[in-house]
Chains A and B, each alone.
Chain A
């Protein structure tokens, strides 16, 4: 007598194998849907824009003649913008995360604060634009300056950085904190010498991804009223400027078809900036990551 009835097993096995294959196929389609759209987008933009992409495109100001149009003012403007957004949002964001994770007590008020920070991360960017217009542009009188736009963008990405930094700090094993306290270290020493070093890959990765979002955001800049027609570079933080997404948006609206290609070339520049930032994030993560 045999304990395993092979026919029966094979019969059921087939059914399972088939259902496995079907599901595998469905999931594969789901994955390729995103990949195919990304591929199509890249193909379209690169095939349209590559013809206009040369050194002059980087070093020229915008022009009414598509062949002479360049992205200099927008590219430099975006870099200036980032020089405000990066320090302001990272310093404020990481400090908030340290406070919430290491100092704040578990009570209703702090739960309320935590919940609202997560909610803020979901507020549409145009709302932050209106906030920036009212507070930084009009109330503080910064006008349409790099400072006003930079502070608005910092507010926009602050919740994302806080949440990422909180996650990173929370991921530090509790044993490490306890070991540090056990050795007689104070709380401040523990935070500075144990927790932050362990959390820094996560914090920086989250921050740079958030900054990448800030560099591509258009809506807050439109609401603030950042100009698009200018032929000079900013010389200080209270100067007005234009940014990459604004310039691309303006080109895409033009009647001449050639400007659509110029817009594509602008998108390529924006993508290169984004990819550079993301690769820095990956580099930092790999370099500083420690495994326990």
Chain B
């Protein structure tokens, strides 16, 4: 009899304490936010504060490396970044939930409009370059080089089941198997814009937000074709064959110079102007980002911008402060 009473009273007591802690926390956090901004205004070398971001999974590896390095420099700045995809990130950015948003495509007109309505002023910075890599199975001996028109012909929905021989009569009469990133990703949007020209992607395509699924899909099927970010190709170089587009192979050089066109694309970070002005921590983190993005991008498998570009961005950032 005593046992269960002891047990329930402990459970009740501990939950009461926990719930009590919840209630008290509100005041604490609001006061601590005030002291944080006060500290920030005094301009000491060690600052504190919260920075919240979200966005593209393509940009996420760069951000993770930056956050990791930044934590070593500024221990008290708490940077939290989600990975909801470019579209999902913008949705939160428009809602005012985040201070910055990562994107693997330029912002859409509709999103600009919504940000305007929400009264959010923002600035766009480029972080690095990515080369969308089109890949096929290593045993694919025919489709080693494709033109943009051929890519379009392969990927658009035209109501027929597509065989390789439909694209070029000397190629095998076997059905093509498609793997594409999911429609919430900036990678899909970018491919849709430059290759598909706004037309629908083939219905038989397997869409996945997880790029490793695409890699596995293409490695498993001789007739498969897929595309994804350059970093995923680099990591799986030995299992996949990259397609040259208009004769150009995606490499660090061709992506940086823009020769690998139209599939070389910039990766962006969109920053809320008011967050830079009002929050020393956000300013400092974005500054750190622009100073180190090139190096971190190379580390995780993307291509750095020319250093003048970062300098220009830093000047713009100073102007916002």
Q: Please pick, from A83, A138, A255, A260, the residue contacting B231 in the complex, using a CB distance under 8 A.
A: A255
Alpha-carbon gap, A196 to B53, bound state (A): 47
B65 within 8 A of A: yes
Alpha-carbon gap, A253 to B7, bound state (A): 42
Interface with B: A45-53, A84-92, A180-188, which one? A84-92
B194 within 8 A of A: no
With known contacts A63-B68, A64-B299, A240-B80, A229–B22 Cβ distance under 8 A: no
A288 adjacent to B3 (CB under 8 Å): yes
Q: Please pick, from A228, A253, A287, the residue contacting B210 in the complex, using a CB distance under 8 A.
A: A253
B81 within 8 A of A: yes
Within 8 A of A (CB), among B72-91: 78-84, 88
Tell me the minimal C-beta distance from B189 to chain A in angstroms.
Answer: 19
Q: Please pick, from A144, A193, A229, the residue contacting B64 in the complex, using a CB distance under 8 A.
A: A229
A62 within 8 A of B: yes
B35 within 8 A of A: no
B4 adjacent to A255 (CB under 8 Å): no
Alpha-carbon gap, A90 to B10, bound state (A): 13
- For chain B, which range describes its interface: under 10, 10 to 19, 20 to 34, or 35 or more residues? 35 or more
Interface with A: B54-62, B119-127, B197-205, B250-258, which one? B54-62
A230 adjacent to B81 (CB under 8 Å): yes
A87 adjacent to B18 (CB under 8 Å): yes
Residues of A near B14 (CB, < 8 A) are 87
Within 8 A of A (CB), among B1-47: 1, 3-4, 7-8, 11-12, 14-15, 18-19, 21-22, 25-26, 28-29
Q: How many A-B residue pairs have CB under 8 A?
A: 128
A39 within 8 A of B: no
Alpha-carbon gap, A254 to B64, bound state (A): 12
Q: Which residue of A lies closest to B208 (CB)?
A: A253
Tell me the minimal C-beta distance from A128 to chain B in angstroms.
Answer: 18
Alpha-carbon gap, A250 to B14, bound state (A): 33
A64 adjacent to B61 (CB under 8 Å): yes
B210 adjacent to A240 (CB under 8 Å): no
With known contacts A196-B8, A225-B92, A288-B3, A232–B15 Cβ distance under 8 A: no
Alpha-carbon gap, A200 to B28, bound state (A): 37
B113 within 8 A of A: no
Alpha-carbon gap, A171 to B177, bound state (A): 56
Tell me the minimal C-beta distance from B17 to chain A in angstroms.
Answer: 9
A252 within 8 A of B: yes
A236 within 8 A of B: yes
Q: Which residue of A lies closest to B54 (CB)?
A: A225
A197 within 8 A of B: yes
Within 8 A of A (CB), among B283-305: 296, 299-301
Alpha-carbon gap, A226 to B71, bound state (A): 19
Tell me the minimal C-beta distance from A11 to chain B in angstroms.
Answer: 54
Residues of B near A87 (CB, < 8 A) are 11, 14-15, 18-19
A101 within 8 A of B: no
With known contacts A86-B15, A144-B82, A197-B1, A252–B210 Cβ distance under 8 A: yes
B71 adjacent to A229 (CB under 8 Å): no
Residues of B near A144 (CB, < 8 A) are 52, 80, 82, 97
Tell me the minimal C-beta distance from B182 to chain A in angstroms.
Answer: 12
A236 adjacent to B300 (CB under 8 Å): no
B249 within 8 A of A: no
A84 adjacent to B25 (CB under 8 Å): no
A200 adjacent to B4 (CB under 8 Å): yes
Alpha-carbon gap, A242 to B83, bound state (A): 12
A/B interface sample: 30 pairs, CB < 8 A:
A64-B61, A64-B65, A83-B18, A84-B18, A86-B15, A87-B11, A87-B14, A90-B15, A144-B52, A196-B8, A200-B7, A222-B84, A227-B54, A227-B82, A228-B60, A228-B81, A228-B83, A229-B60, A229-B82, A229-B83, A230-B78, A231-B67, A238-B26, A238-B29, A252-B212, A253-B210, A253-B211, A255-B211, A255-B212, A288-B4
Beyond the given pairs A88-B15, A225-B54, 8 more chain A to chain B contacts, judged by CB atoms under 8 angstroms and listed by A's residue number, are A225-B88, A225-B97, A227-B54, A227-B82, A227-B83, A228-B81, A232-B71, A238-B26
Task: Enumerate chain B interface residues (CB-CB to A < 8 A).
Answer: 1, 3-4, 7-8, 11-12, 14-15, 18-19, 21-22, 25-26, 28-29, 52-54, 57, 60-61, 63-65, 67-68, 70-71, 78-84, 88, 92, 95, 97, 209-212, 229, 231-232, 234-236, 296, 299-301
